């Protein structure tokens, strides 16, 4: 696979890059960012995957996530894909709503038309992009972890639960933990999968745990001043599911914090240190 370099910038002794490539999974050009920390020639470094939330691209966390200092200190490669396919021919929401279609791929492979052709973000972030990254960057594929925010927190949790042998750690900021039960998720899963509720459950962290999926431990930060907390995020459902399943969940409720990158950037280094401890050789 060929990859085009969009930009390169020096930061904390490492390199922040933005790249573009033609995706087989989505049938579109896709843009992603990679921060590579300073390292010795020939070294293979652990990888942290970050999945962004509704309306975001790779750029939100790249510009506002404040992860580079910690990644440079800890020796972590940080990868941020886009949240959905994009392009003039890619169908979006009929009413141009923010919570479905463009910028709202929900990290699933859609089966319903007209979305099935392009909205294959599950395949993109679990298969195609990891292969490209492994070919182009000094990664150690045996040391990977994943985290995300909101819709991306949903993606990170579901991907980790379905690939527990691939990722050594998983965490989330304000994740949508039970999309089958909340308005954002019902709209998205219904639009991408129709009435196939079995497919819904495969992309619902709480449902996956209820159905037997396991991951050793999870870290979740949730702002208590988050406007979406009660209606869309429902962290208490994840807490209950983890308790019943014996999954070690650290759920930190942070007073005064909202859903924004001011919240994420405040606790990003905490998450990266937590990941780094589990990514040691």
Catalytic site positions: 150, 226, 259
Cβ count near 61 (within 10 Å): 25
Rounded-to-integer distance, Cα 233 and Cα 179, Å: 8
Rounded-to-integer distance, Cα 18 and Cα 7, Å: 5
What the block records as the tokens of 242 is 């983890």
What the block records as the tokens of 149 is 């925010």
Residue recorded with tokens 């510009």: 63
Rounded-to-integer distance, Cα 52 and Cα 79, Å: 11
- Specify burial of residue 248 (Cβ count, 10 A radius: 0-12, 13-18, 19+): exposed
Q: Is the dihedral of CA 217, 70, 252, 175 positive or negative?
A: negative
């Amino acid at each position: 696979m060929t990859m085009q370099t969009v930009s390169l910038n020096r930061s904390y002794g490492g390199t922040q890059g933005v790249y573009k490539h033609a995706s087989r999974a989505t049938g579109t050009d896709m843009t992603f960012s990679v921060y590579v920390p300073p390292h010795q020639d020939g070294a293979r470094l652990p990888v942290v995957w970050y999945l962004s939330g509704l309306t975001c691209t790779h750029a939100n966390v790249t510009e506002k996530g404040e992860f580079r200092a910690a990644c440079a200190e800890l020796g972590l490669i940080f990868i941020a894909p886009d949240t959905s396919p994009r392009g003039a021919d890619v169908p979006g929401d009929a009413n141009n709503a923010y919570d479905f279609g463009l910028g709202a791929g929900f990290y699933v492979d859609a089966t319903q038309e007209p979305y099935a052709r392009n909205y294959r973000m599950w395949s993109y972030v679990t298969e195609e992009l990891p292969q490209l990254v492994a070919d182009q960057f000094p990664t150690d594929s045996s040391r990977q972890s994943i985290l995300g925010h909101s819709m991306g927190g949903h993606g990170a949790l579901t991907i980790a639960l379905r690939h527990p042998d691939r990722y050594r750690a998983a965490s989330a900021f304000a994740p949508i933990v039970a999309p089958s039960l909340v308005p954002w998720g019902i709209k998205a899963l219904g639009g991408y999968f129709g009435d196939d509720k079995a497919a819904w459950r495969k992309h619902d962290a709480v449902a996956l745990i209820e159905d037997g999926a396991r991951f050793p431990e999870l870290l979740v930060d949730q702002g208590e001043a988050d406007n979406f907390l009660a209606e869309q995020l429902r962290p208490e459902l994840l807490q209950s599911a983890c308790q019943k399943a014996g999954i070690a969940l650290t759920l930190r409720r942070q007073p005064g914090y909202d859903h924004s990158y001011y919240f994420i950037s405040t606790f990003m280094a905490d998450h990266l240190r937590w990941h780094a401890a589990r990514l040691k050789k």
